[in-house]
Amino acid sequence: MIGGNSRELIHATMQWHALSAARTALNKQRLALEKEIWPKIGRSLGVGHPHWRLLNQVKEQIVLLKRKERAALAVLAKVCAAQRSAYGAADVVEAVDGMLTLEMEA
């Protein structure tokens, strides 16, 4: 069971996950654009072509999302550190059926 700051932990986790998912989706879009553009580089597509501009915009958005994702991850790490103090007496962490369980000292 999550302790007293469970809302902060859930909020930080969901913030990080949303940013990570958004960055992953944009990265897929970037890869699709590059796949479309790279074979045509030697032909008629110049740097001023709309596809290049779109690709550069997507790359800038990815960089911005990476920064936000790292900031969210830092917040998540702080919340996890605060949460961990509630489990200070935990001795053993066991993996049972893919789930981690904490066994507390009596």
Instruction: For residue range 73-98, list pLDDT tens digits in order.
Output: 999 988 888 877 666 554 445 555 65
- The count of residues in the chain is 106
* pLDDT grade for 53, boundaries at 50, 70 and 90: confident
Return d(Cα 62, Cα 55) in angstroms, integer.
11
List the chain domain ranges.
Answer: 6-104
Give the number of other Cβ atoms within 10 Å of residue 16's Cβ.
20
**Two tokens, residue 51:** 């596809």
**15, 65 contact by CB (below 8 A):** no
pLDDT in the model for residue 33: 85
